[in-house]
Amino acid sequence: MVLEIIGSFVTNSIALLSDAGHMFTHAFAIGISLLANFITRKPPCHHKTFGLYRAEVLAAFINGLFLLPIVGFIIFEAIVRFLNPQGVNGFYMLIVAFIGLAVNIASILILQSSRDTSLNIKSVFYHMIADAASSIGIVIAAFIIMSTEFVILDPIVSLGISIVIIYWAYGILKESVRILLEMAPKGMNIDTINEDLKANFPEINQIYDTHLWTIIPEMLIYSTHIKLNNDMIKDNQEDFISKINDYLSNKYRIIESTIQIMPEDAVEACNI
């Protein structure tokens, strides 16, 4: 980041300066992510019953949100350069861009094996992918500017970087907001799960007041009320519930399910 800031002034390249701003968000993102990883290791207690796993989701949300003003600055500077084209030193721009690309590739390789272990690490990994893409764009632009003096390409690359940043920021914000608002996990539907349970457990007469939410992407929680066909229950209810819990765990990766058996004359809760 520091090298790109210095390089942007030496070369007069807005693309390098915009990428330095992008790099700053990465440094900020990694700092928050490291802090979140430390916080989430703290065990649950009487008032933090799920522990602090959501800290990494909050960190991912902050990372995505923080990218937006950076994008605004890059777009503004690119428009200014379109209106007032300025000379760019393509040779030094190329050297700085190559160094930045090497750092980004190294970062991607380090995070590759663990990118799907948490939303937090995934957000940092996407930061690196986005910056590698922008570095490649700057390398190509530097070659062209060196050869043709087509300096307008510098703000064009800046706008390309902005599009990449917006794309990844939107994805991270959408996923983190979904978790923070206690929505059902992406691709999962409680009606589908309930129908599946009724099909595989004919003892179930009715399922209602079902909730499915995410602590972090790897921790799914499910709760519901059920009414049973009592004539079909051969085992005790505790064993039956245990079978349902095992089924939900094996098929849907639900780590914790709370199932309450209701009497036949129980009234369903009002849906608000």
- The domain in which residue 51 lies consists of 2-180
Is residue 251 a contact partner of residue 219, using CB atoms and an 8 Å limit?
A: no
pLDDT digits (tens, 9 = 90+) for 183-210: 888 888 899 999 999 999 888 888 999 9
Mean pLDDT value of segment 152-174: 81
Among the listed residues 214, 204, 207, 272, the one whose alpha carbon sits nearest the alpha carbon of residue 243: 204
Residue 167 belongs to some domain of the structure: yes
Which run of H or of E encompasses 256?
strand 254-262
pLDDT digits (tens, 9 = 90+) for 95-152: 888 888 898 899 889 888 877 776 667 777 877 787 787 788 888 888 888 888 888 8
pLDDT digits (tens, 9 = 90+) for 200-243: 988 888 899 999 988 877 788 999 999 887 665 655 778 888 99
Q: Residue 105 and residue 37: Cα distance in Å, rounded? A: 23
Residue 155 reports pLDDT greater than 60: yes
Considering the domain architecture, whether residues 123 and 216 belong to the same structural domain is answered as no
Last residue of one domain, picked from the residues 153, 180, 207: 180
State whether residue 188 is helix, strand or coil: coil
In this predicted structure, what is the pLDDT of residue 211? Answer: 92
CATH number at 253 reads 3.30.70.1350
In this predicted structure, what is the pLDDT of residue 195? Answer: 93
In this predicted structure, what is the pLDDT of residue 196? Answer: 92
Rg of the chain taking only CA atoms, in angstroms: 26
Residue 269 reports pLDDT greater than 70: no
CATH number at 26 reads 1.20.1510.10
- pTM here is 0.68
Considering the domain architecture, whether residues 132 and 10 belong to the same structural domain is answered as yes
Residue 164 reports pLDDT greater than 80: no
Is residue 173 a contact partner of residue 122, using CB atoms and an 8 Å limit?
A: no
In this predicted structure, what is the pLDDT of residue 73? Answer: 80
Last residue of one domain, picked from the residues 119, 151, 180: 180
Which run of H or of E encompasses 167?
helix 153-180
Structural domains in the chain (count): 2
**The three-state (H, E, C) secondary structure of 189-254, written as one string:** CHHHHHHHHHHHCCCEEEEEEEEEEEEECCEEEEEEEEEECHHHCCCCHHHHHHHHHHHHHHHHCE
In this predicted structure, what is the pLDDT of residue 226? Answer: 92
Q: In a 10 Å sphere around its CB, with 0-12 CB exposed, 13-18 middle and 19+ buried, how is residue 155 labelled?
A: buried
The residue to which tokens 């428009």 are assigned: 79
pLDDT digits (tens, 9 = 90+) for 41-88: 777 777 776 777 777 788 778 878 877 887 888 788 888 888 887 778
The residue to which tokens 């500077």 are assigned: 77
In this predicted structure, what is the pLDDT of residue 239? Answer: 84
Considering the domain architecture, whether residues 19 and 147 belong to the same structural domain is answered as yes
